[in-house]
Structure formats: structure tokens, C-alpha cells
Amino acid sequence: MSSEIPSADGRERGALRRIFDAAIESAAPAPAVLKNLPDKPPGRCIVIGAGKASAAMAAALDSAWPDVDLSGVVSTRYSHAVPVGRITVIEAGHPVPDDASEDAARRILDAVEGLSPDDLVIALISGGGSATMALPIELLGLTEKQNITRQLLASGATITEMNTVRAHLSRVKGGKLATAAAPARLCTLLISDVPGDDPASVASGPTIPCSSSPADALELIDRFAISVPSTVREYLSAAKSASSGACKASHNIIASPAQALKAAATKAEELGFTPVILGDSIEGESRELGRVMAGIARSVRTLGEPARPPAVLLSGGETTVTIGSEGTGRGGRNTEFLLALAITLDGEPGIWALAGDSDGIDGTEDAAGAIITPDTLVRSREAGVDARNALQRHDSYSLFDATGDLIRTGPTLTNVNDIRIVMLQ
């Protein structure tokens, strides 16, 4: 993983980055897959998968089982493919599905057709799979599905809420891929990026029995004012929850946000900080969480509770950015969180922070996240950027690009959601 740490405040920046890297490394796909492989099948092994980590997961499996009759198809985000031997890798759109996403879904369905009880299907599922493997219900064309996805992304809905809608507008999600794989044995290995680690929500649960109903999806569409064709509303009103088919199935979460935060806490202790894990399932508006976190940090510095500095506050989960009438600049949920945090702290000494997406891409930009320091606002003014205006326009990326504080890792090939680190000296 490449490292870009600006020279100013080098010790604090270096410590932040080492803690962040430890969290990501703890969720590396290959060792997680190898620790959790099922028994080898008497028949064939068909490998399917979707998400940002799916290719790296498949590569580990292909290398581990050279003596098994193994083949399959996985889909991942563009630029996330790796050599996978006997398994086909398709790169597709994210966060909005594209033609390649549909092609991937069809080829994955073809791969599990006509299997027997002696065959084993291993599904490698990670965050991002909702977009990279997409086959909408027949009432929806791809263009309409893309429009709905864009509306959901801008609505302020949580990842779980978005995936509920996606599951019920898909021919592969919400357990439908498990139905297609029957009567083969099915083992799903998941790298979770969702708060609470609900397996039915990771990549919209293609191989997990759906825990929501069509009525739930329709309620969310109405709550967030998502425009859908009238035929889709009629479909959801009449549809019944689907079964998961007659296959013998198991699933296992092999990497998670909680695991990443524990690794970050261990590294923080090694560096001389007292770690405090605030939770791995924190949701809400990014800017509001930034303001709340500023208040928590100030309390720690003044009251010494729940830890005395030097301390590190750690949290995970997935916040949201609701795009209103003011439109949007360039940014992601982590850089927006950091900008709100910096504005609220207003240069308070002794507080640094890093927030980044564990997959290496915050939103749709080329940075995982950024770092703030006590002089972030001063340096942004010197760079000619008004911080409050940037926050109002959701243009946090541009501000941190101007100050040289973006963190660029490139694709990490895993995805256990966001890692937020607030350091107090």
C-alpha cells in the first residue's frame, strides 16, 4: 500500500496513518478466506462472487485448491481485478451499475445452473457487490435502475436501507442467487461493510435469505421520495417475500468493521495511546457526526473521560451525505466528516484526525480520505478555500486537495467500511 504523509506534523500524521493501515491490513482478503474454507466437495466447486474484494478472495481460493475441479465468475469494481487463474473476473460499474454489471449477473447465474448435490458453490461477497452484479427485475431497464440508484445515493438513506430497495428490485439479490444454485451445497464467505454485520445486507444479500419484505422496500421508496415507474410500485405492492431455495447453505463473516477497529486499537496501544472504541456501527449525516465527535474530543481533553490523553478515539460504520438544493462539489462521506470536525474544533490544539474508507476510495474520488490538524483551517485560508462554503457545497475533497491532506492508498481490495481515528495529545 502506498503512503502519502505530508511533512508537517509528521509524528502525529505518521501515527494516524499507521493505525489506519493496521485496520485495513487486518481485513486482507487472502488470509481471511484461507482460514474459513469449507470441506472440499466430491463434485465440482463453482466460485461466484461480487464486490470490491471478490477478485482478491477468489485468487486466494484458486491457489488453495489446485486439486479441485474449480471454475466460476466473480464481479468487482473497475481497477480492482487481480489474476485469478481458473476463475473469470468481470470489472463493472460502482456505485452505479452499468452494462458490465448486468453481464456479470447473467454469467454468474449461468455458472450455477444445472448443479448437483455433490457440487459446492462458494460465494465470495463483499461491499460493492450491489452495483457490480446487477440484474433488475423485468419491469426495470438498466437506465431506470441507474436512475433509482443515483436517487438513493443522494437521498441520505443508510446503506442497509439502500440495499433493502435494491434486493427487491433485483433478479439476483435478496437470496435469489441461492435459489438458482440449488440443489448444490452453498457456502458464502462475506467481508462485511454494513453496520451491524447483517449478512442479508452485504451486497444486498444475493445468497442470504432476505430479511425484509417488498412492502419494506416500498415504504423506503416513499420515505425518501424516490421516483420509480408506477409498474414498479404495483409490483412491490403485490409481491411476496421470496424463499432461498432448497439448497444446503451456510455463511460466515470472515472480516468485519469490528475486527478492523480492534486491530487499530492494538496498533494505537503499541504507539503509546490509550484506545477508545466508540462503535463499529455509527450512522447518520457525515457533517453532524463531525460536530458530535468534536464535542466528544473536547470532553476527553478537559475531563479525561473515558481516557486521558494521549488517547485515540476509534469508530466505524457508514455515514451519509444528503445532497440538497445547493448541489454538490467533490467529496465523500469521510472528507465531509473531517471538514465538519475541523470547523467545529476551530483550531483547538492537540487534536488530529484521519478518516478514510477501507476500500481506498471515498465516494467516487481517488482518495481514501484525509487528515486534519490543528491548523487545517489556517492552511485552507492560505490556499484560498473557505471551509464553511466548501462544507455547504459538499466540496470537502477540493479543500483537502488544496491543503495537501488527502490520503491516497489506491484500491486496497478489501472493504470493511469507514475507519475514523481522532487523536488527542
Q: Same domain for 185 and 120?
A: yes
Q: How confident is the model at residue 399 (pLDDT cuts 50, 70, 90)?
A: very high
**Residue 151: is its pLDDT beyond 90?**
yes
Q: How confident is the model at residue 276 (pLDDT cuts 50, 70, 90)?
A: very high
Q: Is residue 235 part of a domain?
A: yes
CATH number, domain of 336, equals 3.40.1480.10
Q: Is residue 2 part of a domain?
A: no
Tally the domains of the chain.
Answer: 2
User: Nine-digit cell at 316?
Assistant: 466505524
**Residue 324: is its pLDDT beyond 80?**
no
Segment (H or E) for 107: helix 99-111
pLDDT of residue 305: 85
Mean residue pLDDT of the chain comes to 93
Positive or negative, the Cα torsion across 50, 263, 421, 277? positive
**Residue 81: is its pLDDT beyond 90?**
yes
Per-residue pLDDT tens digits for 347-392:
999 999 999 999 999 978 899 999 999 999 999 999 999 999 999 9
Q: Is residue 3 part of a domain?
A: no
Q: Same domain for 196 and 265?
A: no
Q: Same domain for 85 and 200?
A: yes
Look up the pTM and report it.
0.90
Helix (H, G, I), strand (E, B) or coil at 5: coil
The domain in which residue 210 lies consists of 29-255
Q: Same domain for 237 and 369?
A: no
- CA distances to 106, 312, 332, 419 from 336, rounded to whole Å, are 37, 20, 6, 14
Give the domain-ending residue among 204, 220, 255.
255
Q: Same domain for 389 and 262?
A: yes
Q: What is the DSSP string of 62-87?
A: HHH-TTS-EEEEEEEETT-----TTE
Please name which of 364, 289, 373 lies closest in space to residue 332, comparing C-alpha atoms: 364
Q: Same domain for 277 and 223?
A: no
Kindly give, in sequence order, each residue whose CB lies less than 8 Å from that of residue 190, ignoring residues fewer than 6 positions away: 125, 126, 199, 202, 251, 252, 253, 254
Q: Same domain for 166 and 193?
A: yes
The CA distance from 55 to 81, in Å, is 6
CATH number, domain of 154, equals 3.40.50.10180
Q: Same domain for 273 and 321?
A: yes
Q: Same domain for 302 and 226?
A: no
